[in-house]
Amino acid sequence: MMTTPGILNHHCAPRNKTIRTGGYLESLCRAFDYSGRLLGGTHNDGRCLKAMSAPYTILFVEDEGVRESTTAILASSGFRLLVAQSGEEALQLLDQGHIDVLFTDVVMPGLNGIELAKQAKQLRPDLKIMFMTAYYSRAAEAMEVGKLLFKPVRDVQILAGPAELLPPN
């Protein structure tokens, strides 16, 4: 099994450039669709991740097993993370400081991800929203509110999502 740095360097980096992890991403110079197929392109086509000079903060909300692996992927790439196990807990964390991206599962007990996102946007209109789900029945509703990834989510998709939502800094 490849680690996140191995996956990124193997699938995403040009042959003459290595992606640093544990810090900030230099760039992902290939774009992938949701099935993992290479879309092609170069580092100048606007689909790659740009270098991040300061970490953004992501509030990640997940009630199940992928919480640990997704958290590790985001943290190893230089994002500051707040992690919640429920929508209710996430709302409390929104009051504790600046957050750039709310990244949440759609289907959770109690306050689901879509309702969480709607409430979060009322509190913070500039907040970027990213969802992940295995339920296609909720896809259209989620896409009206934010970016949507379908489970199982690949490392590259997890890292590309926030970069598509956030401006390079």
Q: Are 124 and 59 in contact (CB under 8 A)?
A: no
79, pLDDT greater than 70: yes
CA dist 111 and 90 (Å) reads: 10
In DSSP terms, which residues pair with 60 in a beta bridge?
A: 83, 103
163, pLDDT greater than 60: yes
If one counts the domains in the chain, the total is 1
Among 30, 91, 80, which Cα is nearest to 58's? 80
CA dist 59 and 102 (Å) reads: 5
Q: What is the CATH classification number for the domain harbouring 78?
A: 3.40.50.2300
124, pLDDT greater than 70: yes
- For the whole model, what pTM was predicted? 0.69
Q: Kindly report the CA angle at 69 between 63 and 72, in degrees rounded to 5?
A: 115
CA dist 106 and 149 (Å) reads: 10
Query: Span 62-72, mean pLDDT?
Result: 87
> What does the mean pLDDT of the chain come to?
74
Query: Span 123-143, mean pLDDT?
Result: 95
Q: Are 117 and 89 in contact (CB under 8 A)?
A: no
Range of the domain at 37: 4-165
In DSSP terms, which residues pair with 131 in a beta bridge?
A: 104, 148
